[in-house]
Amino acid sequence: MKKAVLVTGASSGIGAATAKLFANQGYFVYLLGRNEERLQEVALSCPGGASLLKCDLNNEAQLDKYTKHLFERADTQLEVLVNNAGVFEQHTSQKDEGLDIWRKMFETNFFGSINLTQRVLPLLARHHQGSIVNVSSTLGLRPTAQTAAYSASKAAMINWTQSLALELGPQKIRVNCVCPGLVDTPIHAFHSLNSKAKEAALDNMKNLQPLGRIGHPEEIAQSIYFLGSQQSSWTTGAILSVDGGINLT
């Protein structure tokens, strides 16, 4: 049986980079996301084989269908789950904003991961070296103005990581969390600007980073791989900031 990883939000940014890295390390990769075309593109860069799970994390019927498929696969052994999918929007906390934005951030960034994790836990427990990596954010540790719902959903991810690490230790499942800082991916409006406009948009942000630049998806993928794989076999409940030092400022 081939060792396998399931990466959510694998169609883009950090998830795509993570899927490719695991694939290059010999893992079979289950790629979960809603955009089939982009998932297919990522699959082409996965030499060890990949299977697409075209699925909305907020749709329980779709999750049931695809997790059933995972249980039926006799050729792979799911060792790692990367709960990476997420959405980001800025907003204020004034009354006229209502709760819609809060529900949206928590639905995908938090409840979606719980939904999926509950379903695949029996698979991860089978081989006594299962591992979960949750992707939170520096904003989950230290929020900024106009990001309350996103930051709270990411703080919940951190707290859940620690609780789950305690709960699943007896089943030999490790649970860890990566908190990325500012990374150049499509989640940010600046990502799709032309290079000159992007440079201008990023100037101020770069100066705020102790390392003087923003991050690349591949740099987050390296940390996710470390925590997901047996390279970190005695690490559980860890919250790893990968953020160019911004959490210290």
Site residues, ligand NAP (CB under 6 A) = 8-9, 11-15, 33-35, 38, 56-58, 84-88, 108, 112, 135, 137, 180, 182-183, 185-187
Closer residue to ligand NAP in complex, CB, 4/157: 157
Contact 246, 210 (CB under 8 A): yes
**Measured from the CB of residue 104, what is the shortest distance to ligand NAP in angstroms?**
10
Is 150 labeled as catalytic in the residue annotation? Answer: yes
User: Which residue's structure tokens are 């694998």?
Assistant: 10
User: Which residue's structure tokens are 């900024």?
Assistant: 144
Q: How many angstroms separate the CA atoms of 108 and 57, rounded?
A: 7
Nearest residue to 8 via CA among 48, 46, 52, 45: 52
DSSP, residue by residue, 164-211: HHHHHGGGT-EEEEEEE-SB-STTSGGGGS-HHHHHHHHHHHHHHSTT
Nearest residue to 129 via CA among 24, 8, 228: 228
**Measured from the CB of residue 242, what is the shortest distance to ligand NAP in angstroms?**
9
Contact 91, 146 (CB under 8 A): yes
Contact 132, 174 (CB under 8 A): yes
**Measured from the CB of residue 25, what is the shortest distance to ligand NAP in angstroms?**
20
**Measured from the CB of residue 74, what is the shortest distance to ligand NAP in angstroms?**
26
Among the listed residues 27, 30, 150, 225, the single catalytic one is: 150
Closer residue to ligand NAP in complex, CB, 121/177: 177
DSSP H or E run through 133: strand 131-135
Closer residue to ligand NAP in complex, CB, 64/169: 64
Closer residue to ligand NAP in complex, CB, 69/126: 69
The DSSP bridge pattern shows strands 239-242 and 131-135 to be: unpaired
Closer residue to ligand NAP in complex, CB, 137/176: 137
**Measured from the CB of residue 228, what is the shortest distance to ligand NAP in angstroms?**
15
Query: Which residues are known to be catalytic?
Result: 150
